[in-house]
Structure 1
Amino acid sequence: MASLDPVLDKDGVRLIVDEAIATVTLANPAKRNAQNFALWRALAEAGRVLPGSVRVVVLRGEGKSFSAGLDRQAFTPEGFDGEPSFIDLARSSDEQLDAAIAEYQEAFTWWRRRDIVTIAAVQGHAIGAGFQLALACDLRIVADDVQFAMGETSLGLVPDLTGTHPLVGLVGYARALEICATGRFVHADEAERIGLANLVVPGDQLDAAAHDLAAALLAAPRDAVIETKALLQGATTRDYDAQRAAERAAQARRLRDLAGLGD
């Protein structure tokens, strides 16, 4: 994949497409792929420019860490050049502050689109915003040196980049509260045991394992995967009978499509 021309390469984000598989790389290893506002805009743009032929997206980080979280420069009065600091944001109106956070969240929302399956390949530190970015994906393969932590609460903040919903869904309310409120590290063995990680592999096998999973996901017909993902995503908000009805409707669509009777 490295020989392919990037579809996007800016602000620490690189998107490469190889037929049905896309790879999004956090590409600032010198800063452990720390995140800032420009990177979030680039991640959101990667979702917008993703070709329709893509079925699986792999998210990875260059270097020893997946992402060490938010660049601490955001907490300084100066902030980043040409960008508001957190202090500036705090002084804005309720509407402006809400709109700014909503814009930042866009970098974390498109990974759960129903027409793609997303895999986070995570090594080293995945802290705060890095943890939430891994949680934004459908699946997580982690290296045996992974260290997840939700550090926002220890800084007097809350996780606000869409990570709370998937975290509770994966590990339950009580454990999610404990992880967030203490800010402690979750290592590879625990991550696999409590459901944060689908698979743990040695660090030098991480990229290969992610590619193997991506290839396996391509084996089933695309529309069947889309319908299945939609069913599973909706299962937590439907009661048993509503889920049964959703299954019937989805299967009817699949049967008609296979019989050449679809729209």
Structure 2
Amino acid sequence: MELQKLHYDVANGIAVVTMDYPKNLNAIDEQMADELLYVVKLAEEDPDVKVVVFKGASKAFSAGGDIGYFYQLIQAGGKVNMDSLFDKVGKVTNGIKKMSKMVIASVSGAAAGAGVSLALTADFVICAENAKFIMAFVNLGLVPDTGGTYLLVKQLGEKRALELCATGRPLPAMEAKEFGIVYKVVPNEELEAATMKLAEKFAAGPLISYKNIKKQIYAASFADYEQYLTACEIPTQSECVASSDFCEGVKAFVEKRKAAFEGK
């Protein structure tokens, strides 16, 4: 596959996946999802890859969905159908959770919507001080996808997960570390070095042990993950996408005004 929205580089046993589509702040659209699926499979099957790092640009890890594209469709009177996208992003996160190799997310700037879910899927999250996590779905009249709600409930418990999903408030890097979902927070200029130091440590470690630790953790905590994605996440998000509130949320976001939701 020809990669257009991300880069995939392997050196010294470390695969670095860099999302690089500044036009929409690394939004996870259909093409980005296809490319992520491809590199997740590629890294898993490559015997030369021992550790995988996901990163974005300094300004944003990923802005989540391509709201500008949704706005254009809505304005043109078209129907927004994202069932295929929901299926793909679920497979991306499940592929990362099931991966036999350690996965590190290196987060600088904003991780919003599906970008939060992608970052939290990693085994270790290292953040720059300017990083912030925003479960922005509710502001568009949507529910979290890419496994977001499931991951937050597992990592934070029901109450904190509900607060972040229902309010959509930004979660700063240091607070995320206090919550236990971020491994380390470093000055912005030290993020690259700190990420690679951890990656190099894992690349030189007991890979068979790591693989089986991950397998145990998946069995203990994520055995029903695929069922959640297909039986709950996709149908609930699809209902929200079909609502008038979603159209209003998208329009309000692009037009920089407060949304007037009607619960319809």
TM-score by length of 2: 0.76
What's the counterpart of residue 171 of structure 2? 186
1:76 positional shift: 2.5
- Please tell me whether Structure 1 or Structure 2 has the larger radius of gyration of its CA atoms: 1
> Identity over aligned residues, as a percent?
33
What's the counterpart of residue 182 of structure 2? 197
What's the counterpart of residue 81 of structure 2? 89
**After the TM superposition, which of the residue ranges 101-110 and 207-216 deviates more from structure 2?**
101-110
Amino acid at match of 1:22: A
Residue 55 of structure 1 pairs with residue 40 of structure 2: no
Structure 1 stretches lacking a partner, 5+ long: 1-7, 80-84, 91-96, 239-263
What's the counterpart of residue 174 of structure 1? 159
1:153 positional shift: 1.6
**After the TM superposition, which of the residue ranges 127-136 and 65-74 deviates more from structure 2?**
65-74
Q: Deviations over 1:65-109 (max 9, x none)?
A: 111221112322538xxxxx982417xxxxxx4x55213422332
Where 1:133 maps in the other structure, the secondary structure is helix
1:204 positional shift: 0.7
User: Is the alpha carbon distance of 1:204 and 1:237 closer, same or farther for their aligned partners in structure 2, counting shifts above 3 Å?
Assistant: closer
User: Is the alpha carbon distance of 1:133 and 1:114 closer, same or farther for their aligned partners in structure 2, counting shifts above 3 Å?
Assistant: closer
What's the counterpart of residue 101 of structure 2? 116
Aligned length: 219
User: Is the alpha carbon distance of 1:130 and 1:208 closer, same or farther for their aligned partners in structure 2, counting shifts above 3 Å?
Assistant: same
What's the counterpart of residue 27 of structure 2? 34
What's the counterpart of residue 5 of structure 2? 12
Q: Deviations over 1:138-197 (max 9, x none)?
A: 110011111101011221111121122221121111101000100000001101000121
**Contact 2:19–2:56 at 8 Å: present in 1 too?**
yes
Higher relative contact order structure (alpha carbons within 8 Å, sequence separation ≥ 6): 2
The structure carrying a bigger helix percent of its residues is 2
What's the counterpart of residue 259 of structure 1? none
**Contact 2:100–2:215 at 8 Å: present in 1 too?**
no
Where 2:217 maps in the other structure, the secondary structure is helix
Once superposed, what is the RMSD of the aligned Cα atoms?
A: 2.2
Runs (4+) of structure 1 exceeding 6 A deviation are none
Structure 2 distance, partners of 1:29, 1:203, is 19
TM-score by length of 1: 0.76
**After the TM superposition, which of the residue ranges 216-225 and 133-142 deviates more from structure 2?**
216-225
Structure 1 distance, partners of 2:2, 2:79, is 30
